[in-house]
Amino acid sequence: MSHRGWTALLVAAVLVCALASGPLGAESHLLVVTGVGGEQVYTERFHAWATRVVEAALEAGLSEERVVYLAERPDLDPERIRDRSTGENLLAEIEALTKRSSAGDTVWILLFGHGSGSAGPPRFNLPGRDLVAEQYAAALEPLSDRRVVFINTSSASGGFIAPLAKEGRVVITATRSGAQGNEALFGGYIAEAFDGGAGDMNKDGRTSALEAFEFAQREVDRYYRQAGQIRTEHALLEDNGDGTGSLEPAGLAADGPVDGRLASLVLLGEEALPAALTEESRELAERRGDIERRIDELRLQRESLDEDVYLEELQELMVELALVDRELGESGAKSEEAEDSDGPNGEPDR
Amino acid sequence: MQVLVLVLVFGAWSPLTAAAQDEAVSLQDIEQWILTGRYGDALEQLDARSGQADDAGALRLRVEALTSMGRYEDAARAFDGANAAGLGLGVLRGRVALLAGDREQAGRWFEEARAARGPDGLVAAFELALLLWERGEIEEATRGFYGMIDAYNRGAADTAAELLAVGRACQLLGRDDPELFKDALRAYDEAVALDPSWPLPRVRIGELFLEKYDSSQARSSLADVLRMNPRHPEALLAMARTMRFDGDPRAQATLDAALDVNPNLTPGRVFQAWLHLGAERFREAREEAGKALDVDSGSLTARTLLAAAAFLEGRDEDFARLRDGVLADNPRYADLFNDLADASADNRLYPQARDFAAEAVRIDPKSWRGYGLLGMNQLRLGDIDAGRANLETSFAGDPYNVWTKNTLDLLDTFGEYRMVESEHFEFHIHDREADLLAPYMVELAEEAWTKLSERYRFEPPTPIRVEVYPSHADFSVRTVGLAGLGALGVCFGPVLALDSPSARQVGHFNWGGTLWHEIAHTFTLLATDAKIPRWFTEGLSVLEERRARPGWGDDVQVGFLTALRDGELLGIAEINDGFVRPKFPNQIALSYLQASLISEWIEENYGFGAIRSMLAGYRDGKSTEDVFDEAMSLSLDDFDERFFGHLRERFGGAMAALGDAPSEPDEEDQDGGEGGPSRAPTRNPFERREPNLEQLALAAMENPDDFRIQMTYGYALFREERFAEAEEPLVRGRDLFPEYVGSGNAYTLLAEIYRQQEREEEAIEALMTLVASNETAWDEHLALAELLGAAGREEEEAEVLERSLYISPYDLGVHRRLAELAFASDRFALAVRERAALVALDPPDRAVALYELALAQHRAGRQESARRTVLRALEVAPGYDPAQELLLELVGKGS
């Protein structure tokens, strides 16, 4: 494992305890759904996007039994697709998720397909009877003590924000209203964000819901600008429970109940944490957390500081952080060596 | 004068008398003929009533028919022996006198009508006020106009004719209170409602909308009139003006139709004269104005035109005499200077335009048009603050002017633009793309400056202001005040404006070529004090594009060759018409190309010294005849003979290969205007929806020298993926017309065939040939770069990628590859530029992009920049270890 991987791992161990709402060792679950394509090209496209996310989740450490894929056409990949994505199957799978997961777990639900919302309640088009946003909200209710990330990448998905918004839940839609009914590209970029870590902006080795959102948002914008076309989709993220999505969620650094804080903490996948952190590693990780907090504080003062002063102070902290990370890396490498020989499972970390 | 002509008709439109209706030949029939434009028939019928004196109704109809046909003297004679005022026709008689230019007599008839207190007494009062207005007695005239409003408010204006006069009064008073423009429209609408068959209120509505730059509403109203009477002279004239405003090439034909009905339509003659002047055809402009003055010797508009012609031709004494003559008749006639300002701006004389507009507002501080012109021309000269202030004054006085409003709205966005200065230029680029575009634009503009200043032996005053608009609508507003301009760039001399590459779809234009084109204009315009003819400055700009980079500048297309073959290219004496009065949509594009080939031919045969000598000649105010004679000892006819001979020789083979087929406009560049035609990809002209391959094969065999047939057959095979068979006809097509690089060209198709067949070297050669002539072929540039890269020809790959940036600088992959190539060849400064571009593009992996920029800066020896950049990378990703390592290295703590 690289210096970076170890640092991320050790830091995650400390941060999860310190910041995230989920307990250390909480599990992640993923449900991916593709709706009715209507045309072969869309059916195949949605399947390709869904497959990328499924593979990214497996790559990120989710076990196969915790990754469920429902599709319009199971024959496209019978080994991976558990069942047809009818409304009944989907609701049954959410119910099964409720049973399978525990309080504090993270449940990811991603929808790829077409939607509608300009006439009647917002809906996601499924084979057979569609489910409307209120039905998803009702189905998710038993998961209220889990962290749910609900991403609807369909056209006209903006209407899902208000019905699904809830404290402790991240809701992402490809459009800002039910009226934006043109074909949406957002889903493809969401898939890309998770696949291969393209969305991992802070280079901590994993992609958060916020990072994926921002990546997809930016790439959609780039697509339309580059093609010289009029943009017809504006994605929203809601995670403060007020029912109003944000085009530009603030993230962790901002104060107050703004959108983006929770989404920045929810990461797709999980890594097996070292069985036991050494005292030295724990101390270094705590020191690291302290430096990061000081960096965040400094960044909040950026506007009021002279640029040179800011950079001088930032440099000091960044050098300090880099040196700690270097030590963490060395410490992690030692742990890895120890685990390789003494690990409980007798197998090294991936 | 126009106002008077238009007002004339309504006097003839009151209900016919009961007596007339009882006659055997119905006056209502005659009236109907006039309504539908059968003026001659109406007169014939009225004449057939010989022996019978005209009563009031018949006299009205006779005068209306005669005036509609421009027979003003006959119309005046029709009143002989009649007590016009007593018949309620005093106003009509006065207007006939006005049409013939006799203002004094007109005043007497109006006065008599008013004194008679007949049915046209109120309108007579309006006409008298209008005469005062024309003499510059604005305050007195204003009182008269307000009298019309009083009459309306008292309910005394209750006929359509009176409502029309009220509307016109409100329109003229709008300068004091812009709300009155709405009232003008209301009065016109009420006149329409009162007499729906009377065309004149609708003509007035059309004119009012056009005055406020709303051509679509103007068209709609005028079209209503012309549907009923397609020969209505005033409606035709107003429609021609509207079409001219919209750049509709049918404007000339519509004006011709108006003058065909009424050859003495003074405003029509004057409008025609302005069109000539806009095309720099001074003699024709003077002749046309002369025709107007033959009818109405006192016409202020015709005399203004003559003053403008004299000014543009450098006949200073004539100009002063004409100007002073107009002002003697109307010392408050601001439109003299406004029209002079417009004419100057049309001829790229922006400083003079500004000064004339300043004079307009001096003699009439309520000339909102004057403030608008002053502001616009100040903006064109880069005086943004003063320009804004005057536009705001203009807009406060006339808030319906969308031209001014759009410009002010645009100025409000200037805070979003960032100024980037270089040695000779001052760029204003939208903040969101300044980081990306500025380095490339500065580099290219300074290169252009160096080369052009050496070539032209002239240095324009600096800095040259370059405005780059990410929205084409904003660029259009900046240029003409309205959205919808087809051009890509514009040069006002010291100020350039152009579309940002983000304003158009990739492959629609080459921003580098456009910038170079506009900078070349700066040189040729300022070197000649803007006296260079349009064709020459455009021709030189395209020529300079062509010299700047392979492939830049217009290419020879099928339409050009068919126009050459069919004798449709204009001779040197008329070529300006191809730019300013195109007769068909593609003529502008053809004119650009032709002008560039003329410039190229002159340089090749007489050296660039001849070009410089021509510029000097134009600067000194010489005519094109003299300029050609002095620089090349050629008359214009001799020049045409030699130049067209050269074209026929150069393109003879390709012309022959086109057979007799007509030109297909779709193959050509459609847009045009200042800054060169748009290079939007067009439909593949060789594509057939359901090609019959057998028939095509037979045709190809029977016509081996027909370019179109070979290409159509080759393309059909290509589409069927029968690559091996497609090669032969495509190669034939290529060889028959090697210059053809437009849609469906042979090179692109052959390159694809070669790629499929793993004949990479031949694919490279085909694409190399293509991009050497086509500067917008985005996909082909990238395909060529990829092939070159795969062949290990990295230097050429980098060169092609570099050129692709002038088509679109927004592709992350291109910058990434260029950066890698630069890094690998130790060209770290170039690597820094490319890595900085990647950062500016806001890449998905920002931390990595910043780190790589920092690394390039580090390797380029720019340690301080590297330190700052790597800190920015760590701001995004504090734990990103390569960036951490670089930081530690930069601060001396590397491992």
Most confident stretch, A203-207, B52-56, B191-195, B320-324: B320-324
Tens-digit pLDDT profile for residues B371-393: 999 999 999 999 999 999 999 99
Residues of A in contact with B846 (CB under 8 A): 201
Residue B884: closest CA among A60, A2, A150: A2
What are the backbone angles phi and psi of residue B676, rounded to the nearest 5°?
95, 155
The answer to whether A334 faces chain B, any CB pair under 8 Å, is: no
Confidence of residue B314 (pLDDT cuts 50, 70, 90): confident
Query: What is the ipTM score, two decimals?
Result: 0.74
Q: Is the separation of the CB atoms in B276 and B285 below 8 Å?
A: yes
Q: Which of A193, A226, A325 is facing B506, going by the closest CB pair?
A: A226
Residues in chain B with CB shorter than 8 Å from the CB of A248 are: none
Task: Select the residue of A203, A299, A319 nearest B877 (Cβ to Cβ).
Answer: A203
Q: Is B570 left (phi over 0), alpha (psi -120 to 50) or beta?
A: beta
What span, in angstroms and rounded, lies between the C-alpha atoms of B788 and B797?
A: 5
Indicate the residue of A2, A201, A322 with minimum beta-carbon distance to B845: A201
Write the pLDDT tens digit of every residue in B657-681: 887 765 544 444 444 444 444 445 5
Please tell me whether the peptide bond between A74 and the residue prior to it is cis, using omega within 30 degrees of 0. no
The C-alpha atoms of residue B39 and residue B36 are separated, in whole angstroms, by 8
Calculate how close chain A gets to B883, using CA atoms only, in Å: 9
Residue in A3, A202, A218 nearest the CB of B881: A3
Short-list B17, B51, B253, CA closest to B119:
B17
Residues of chain A in contact with residue B502, where contact means CB-CB under 8 angstroms, are 225, 228
Under 8 Å CB-to-CB from A322, ≥6 apart: which residues? B881, B884, B885, B887, B888
Q: Which of B791, B789, B769, B771 is nearest to B779 (CA)?
A: B771
- Write the single-letter amino acid at B848: V
Give the span between the Cα atoms of A245 and A176, in whole angstroms: 8
The residue with greater pLDDT, A61 or B821, is B821
A129–chain B Cβ distance below 8 A for any pair: no
∠A133-A139-A141 over CA atoms, to 5°?
105
Task: Report CA B549 to chain centroid distance, whole Å.
Answer: 27
Reading the block at residue B639, the tokens are 């020049």
pLDDT of B239 above 80 = yes
A7 touches chain B (CB under 8 A): yes
CA B727 to chain centre: 43
* Interface size, chain A vs chain B, as Cβ–Cβ contacts under 8 Å: 96
Both structure tokens of B563: 């126009």
Residues in chain B within 8 Å Cβ distance of A203: 847-848, 877, 879-881
When scoring B437, B511, B871 by the number of chain A Cβ atoms within 10 A, the one with the most, hence best to mutate, is B871
Our CA angle for B537, B541, B542, nearest 5°, is 120
Highest mean pLDDT among B125-129, B278-282, B312-316, B489-493: B125-129
For residue B649, pLDDT over 90 is answered with yes
Amino acid found at B159? T
Edge-to-edge, what's the strand order for the sheet holding A115-116? A115-116, A123-124, A131-132
Return d(Cα B764, Cα B175) in angstroms, integer. Answer: 66
Partners of A208 in beta bridges? A267
- The answer, yes or no, to whether residue B411 has pLDDT greater than 70, is yes
β-sheet with B425-430: strand ranges across: B417-421, B425-430, B464-469, B495-499, B489-491
DSSP B503: G
CA distance readout (Å), B848 to A83, A146, B134, B269, B835: 40, 34, 72, 68, 10
Tokens of B454: 């050496």
Q: Are A158 and A236 in contact (CB under 8 A)?
A: yes
Cα Rg of chain A, angstroms? 21
The domain A26-265 having CATH identifier 3.40.1080.10: the answer here is: no
CA A268 to chain centre: 5
State the DSSP code for B420: E
Asked if A302 has any chain B CB less than 8 Å from its own CB, the reply is no
How many other C-beta atoms can be found within 10 angstroms of the C-beta atom of residue A165? 21
Answer whether residue B360 shows pLDDT above 60.
yes
Number of CB atoms found within 10 A of residue B630's CB: 15
Nearest CB among B841, B876, B885 relative to A202 is that of B876
- A130 touching chain B per CB within 8 A: no
Determine the residue type at B208: L
Better-scored residue on pLDDT, A180 or B744: B744
pLDDT 10s per residue in chain A (350 long)?
A: 445 454 555 554 444 443 333 444 678 999 999 999 989 999 999 999 999 999 999 988 899 999 999 999 999 999 999 999 999 999 999 999 999 999 889 999 999 999 987 678 899 999 999 999 999 999 999 999 999 999 999 988 999 999 999 998 999 999 987 776 678 899 999 999 998 778 888 888 889 999 999 999 999 988 887 776 777 889 999 999 999 999 989 876 666 678 998 998 888 876 445 545 677 777 888 888 899 889 988 888 888 889 999 999 999 999 999 999 888 877 765 555 555 444 333 333 32
Distance from CA of A192 to the nearest CA of B (A): 11
Residue B52 has pLDDT above 70, yes or no: no
Distances (CA, A) of B749 to A281, B715, B719, B721, B782: 62, 8, 10, 11, 15
Q: Output B234 or B876, whichever has higher pLDDT.
A: B234
A186: contact with B, CB 8 A cutoff: no
Three-point CA angle A129, A135, A138, nearest 5°: 150
- In the predicted structure, residue B751 carries a pLDDT above the cut 70: yes
CA–CA separation, B42 and B886 (whole Å) = 94
Please say whether the dihedral angle defined by the alpha carbons of residues B455, B461, B463 and B468, taken in this order, is positive or negative: negative
Is the separation of the CB atoms in B864 and B841 below 8 Å? no
What's the pLDDT at A253?
60
Residue ranges of alpha helices (H) inside A252-305 are 261-265, 279-300
What pLDDT is stored for residue B478 in this prediction? 81
Q: What is the pLDDT of residue A268?
A: 85
Distance from the Cα of B500 to chain A's closest Cα (Å) equals: 11
Lowest mean pLDDT among B93-102, B579-588, B693-702, B714-723: B579-588
- For residue range B762-802, list pLDDT tens digits in order: 999 999 999 999 999 999 999 999 999 999 999 999 999 99
Chain centre to alpha carbon of residue A336: 28
Residues 222-251 of A with CB under 8 A from B: 222, 225-229
Please report how the helices B863-876 and B846-859 are oriented relative to each other, as an axis angle in degrees rounded to 10.
Answer: 170
Cα nearest neighbour of A218 on chain B: B844
Instruction: Identify the pLDDT of residue A202.
Output: 85
Domains plus CATH for chain B? Answer: 2-250 (1.25.40.10), 418-562+591-637 (1.10.390.10), 811-895 (1.25.40.10)
In the predicted model, is pLDDT for residue B16 greater than 80? no
Least confident of A173-182, A317-326, B160-169, B700-709: A173-182
Give the pLDDT of residue B661.
Answer: 61
pLDDT at B286 over 90: yes
According to DSSP H, which parts of B120-178 are helical?
A: 121-134, 138-154, 160-173
- List, for residues B105-142, the tens digit of each pLDDT value: 999 999 999 998 888 999 999 999 999 999 999 999 99
Residue A144 tokens, joined: 């209220």
Lowest mean pLDDT: which of A101-105, B50-54, B339-343, B621-625?
B50-54
Inform me whether the C-beta atom of residue B108 falls under 8 Å from chain A C-beta atoms: no
Q: Which residues contact B491 (CB under 8 A, 6 or more apart)?
A: B518, B519, B521, B522, B525, B674, B675
> Would strands A131-132 and A123-124 be described as parallel, antiparallel, or unpaired?
antiparallel
pLDDT on residue A17: 40
Query: Which residues are B425's β-sheet partners?
Result: B464
Q: DSSP of B531-573, one letter per residue?
A: -S-HHHHHHHHHHHHHHHSTT-S----HHHHHHHHTT-SPPTT
CA distance A259 to A238: 6
Report the percentage of chain B scoring pLDDT > 90.
Answer: 73
Check if A305 contacts B (Cβ < 8 Å): no
Tell me the nearest-neighbour CA distance from B809 into chain A, angstroms. 9
Contact A198 B505 (CB under 8 A): no
Closest residue in A to B872 (Cα) is: A311
| Per-residue confidence (pLDDT) for residue B145, from 0 to 100 | 93
Distances (CA, A) of B374 to A47, B24, B310, B348, B399: 62, 61, 21, 14, 16
